[in-house]
Amino acid sequence: MTWNWEFAVEALPILLQGFVNTLIATVVGTVIAAILGLLIAVAIRTLPRWINWLVRLLVAFVRNTPLIVQLMFVYFAFSDIPGLVSIPALAVGCIVIGIHYSTYMSESYRAGIDSVPPGQHEAATALSLPPVRTFTAVVLPQALRATIPSLGNYAVAMFKDTPFLFAISVVELVTSAKQFGGSTFAYTEAFTLAGIIFLAASYPTSLLIQRLDKRLATY
Amino acid sequence: MTDNVTTLLNSLPQLWEGIQTTLILTIAGSIGTIIIAIILGLAMTSPHGWMRIPARIIVEFFRGTSLLVQIFWLFYVFPLLGVELDPLMCGIGALSLNYGAYSAEVVRSSIKTVNPGQWEAAIALSLSPARRMIRVIFPQAWALMIPSLATLLIQLLKGTAVVFFITLSDLTDKIQQLRQSTGDTVFAFTVGLVIYFVIAWLIQELMNLLERQATKRLGRRRPNSRSDRREARRDARAESKREAGATTVPGPSSGNVGYGGAL
């Protein structure tokens, strides 16, 4: 193996530029997924039976099919519509990743809401709080406590899935590594550095989430 | 629409080839995943540091770096090191290592959650460590780990879609071809997603079957099984009927320990 430090030093700024897109996709995707996931979890709890079944089928469908195929689907479907102002690939990527992970996060929210003791619900009803307020002021804050660590884990998983944006030509970390490798043949340096950057960002985050999990644990 | 269907029927043989590649990757990757997971998972529960620490480092390494980085590493960097790998082997290798590391964590935590009384009993009966693991601990841990493994194997199926970046012609690639020949993105990708969904469903059913077998061998009932859920629904309906003032009330279901609540 020939490790060339010159190439490594040359590659680093290019990779970090790509890393910016990776971070944008992760952060925006997480925000979308966290909001949409909560909406799905609430919808599944409140909607009537038949729509509920449909929502659950859709959620299962999105969850059990590959993210890459979904990305290409949405990206190409939008670019097929004539006369539409072209949406940047990164925006499509953020939205699709957000939707994909919202199906996972809705499951965490569901578990979080289920973990709130039923007495809390009953007490709020006994105090004749309106149902919406019962949910937002009593159940949800307690549910979030149980949910946040697993949302964090999904955010890390999402971070590691952002290279799939490669499929719709977003230049993120791995794509920039591949481009650098393609132009200089320094694949070893480029991909190794890309791997190290991923590890350096995701491992401390998951350690932090573990600590958060311990701190927020109540029951 | 009829044009699309004709094109689809004409390209079915190619599509089937793509499905085969995806299935080969999924099946070989799953086998590799489970082997790696069991080895690393057992090593991580070992009392010896020289086994536990390297296993932990390997697991964190493969969990921390992205699947695509690993696949590209095997595909682009290994030839530079003088190891030529077939693209299919690259795919299977990267999928097994990545998901094996995730599954190792599942194996480790399942072994740790087996009732400590079982460990003590096995020690008291002076079973050898290997026998203790194979005959007592692992069968119980296996039943616990199957649901999480099912999720991970479906993730693996979804992960196989990246292999078309390393020149393999899998289902995703064939869908792209179908899209080009029909010119209808929505149609082609819907077909593809449905195929993936069906494969994922088959994996889930297979794992449910394995779980049923594993729990049956332990002489237990599978938690939250389909018949349990059906029974719970029936009871809930009977309950609401009783509250509504119905006269005929079916008796409470029997044989279900976990369900019942305050009576």
Asked if the model's pLDDT at residue B77 lies above 70, the reply is yes
Shortest distance, CA B140 to any CA of chain A (angstroms): 25
pLDDT at site A83: 65
Contacts of A164 in chain B (CB under 8 A): 68, 162
Contact A169, A89 (CB under 8 A): yes
Closest CA in chain A for residue B81 = A1
State the Cα–Cα distance between residues A25 and A190, nearest whole angstrom. 21
Alpha helical stretches, state H, chain A = 5-46, 49-63, 67-80, 89-115, 118-126, 131-133, 140-161, 173-184, 187-216
Choice among B105-109, B121-125, B182-186, B208-212 with the minimum mean pLDDT: B182-186
**Among the listed residues A100, A194, A180, the one whose alpha carbon sits nearest the alpha carbon of residue B64:** A194
The more confidently predicted of residues B256 and B240 is: B240
Q: How far is CA A108 from the centre of its chain?
A: 13
The most confident of the ranges A67-71, B62-66, B80-84, B228-232 is: A67-71
Tokens of B143: 């039943």
Q: Are B197 and A65 an interchain contact pair (Cβ–Cβ within 8 Å)?
A: yes
Contact A64, B197 (CB under 8 A): yes
Contact A3/B at CB under 8 A:
no
pLDDT digits (tens, 9 = 90+) for B127-159: 999 999 999 999 999 999 999 999 999 999 999
Contacts of A169 in chain B (CB under 8 A): none
Rounded mean pLDDT of chain B? 86
Shortest distance, CA A215 to any CA of chain B (angstroms): 20
Contacts of B157 in chain A (CB under 8 A): 66
pLDDT band at B100 (very low <50, low <70, confident <90, very high): very high
DSSP code string of B135-202: IIIHHHHHHHHHHHHHHHHHHHHHHGGGGGGGT---HHHHHHHHHHHH--HHHHHHHHHHHHHHHHHH
Contact A150, A108 (CB under 8 A): yes
Best mutation site among A2, A22, A59, A73 for testing chain B: the one with the most B CBs within 10 Å?
A: A73
Tokens of B21: 């590649």
The pLDDT averaged over each successive group of 10 residues in chain A (219 residues) is: 75 85 92 94 88 91 93 87 75 93 93 90 91 90 88 89 87 85 82 88 87 77
Shortest distance, CA B165 to any CA of chain A (angstroms): 8
State the Cα–Cα distance between residues B237 and B229, nearest whole angstrom. 12
Q: Which domains does chain A have, with CATH numbers?
A: 5-217 (1.10.3720.10)
pLDDT band at B176 (very low <50, low <70, confident <90, very high): confident
| pTM passes above 0.90 | no
pLDDT at site A171: 84
Q: Are A166 and B165 an interchain contact pair (Cβ–Cβ within 8 Å)?
A: yes
Nearest neighbour of A67 by CB, restricted to B158, B192, B197: B158
Secondary structure of chain B: what % helix, strand, coil (to 5)?
Answer: 80, 0, 20
Contact A164, A71 (CB under 8 A): yes
pLDDT at site A219: 53
Choice among A6-10, B67-71, B113-117 with the minimum mean pLDDT: A6-10
Contact A183/B at CB under 8 A:
no
pLDDT at site A84: 67
Mean pLDDT for the stretch of residues B20-36 = 95
pLDDT at site B257: 44
